[in-house]
Amino acid sequence: MTDPRTATLPRSTLLTTAARVLAFLASHEEARITDIAAATEISEGHVRRTIDGLIRAGFLERVPVRNHNRYTVQHDAPLAPGSVSSVGQLISLIAPPGPA
């Protein structure tokens, strides 16, 4: 039997993987895949696939910089075709303030 004093609940969130990655990258453009994975508690492979999907959807841009990539969130991109809500509006609701 598990000791209730040391038991942990599984982590859960209302946010999708894509929203968690976007929120993190909004204030950490220079982050590497390993950093993103650690901060969002998502596997590196899943982070890579998520980033690729966000780029294809037009929510994120990848810019090669020396030996890594910079990820720029496209804040003005609509959340869906014809939507009046933007990626930036979503991020302002879910992301903690970035580093000063």
Quick one: pLDDT band at residue 97, thresholds 50, 70, 90?
Answer: low
Q: Please check whether residue 11 lies inside any domain of the structure.
A: no
Q: What are the tens digits of pLDDT across the range 14-57?
A: 778 998 899 899 889 899 999 999 988 899 999 999 999 999 99
Tally of CA atoms within 13 A in the half-sphere of 38 that contains its CB: 6
Average pLDDT on 63-91 reads 84
Which backbone phi and psi does 51 adopt, to 5 degrees? -60, -45
On whether residue 100 sits in a domain, the answer given is no
Residue 57: inside a domain: yes
The pTM assigned to this predicted structure is 0.74
Q: Total structural domains in the chain?
A: 1
What is the Rg, in whole angstroms, of the alpha carbon atoms belonging to the chain? 16
The CATH number of the domain where 51 resides is what? Answer: 1.10.10.10
Percent residues over pLDDT 70 in the chain: 81
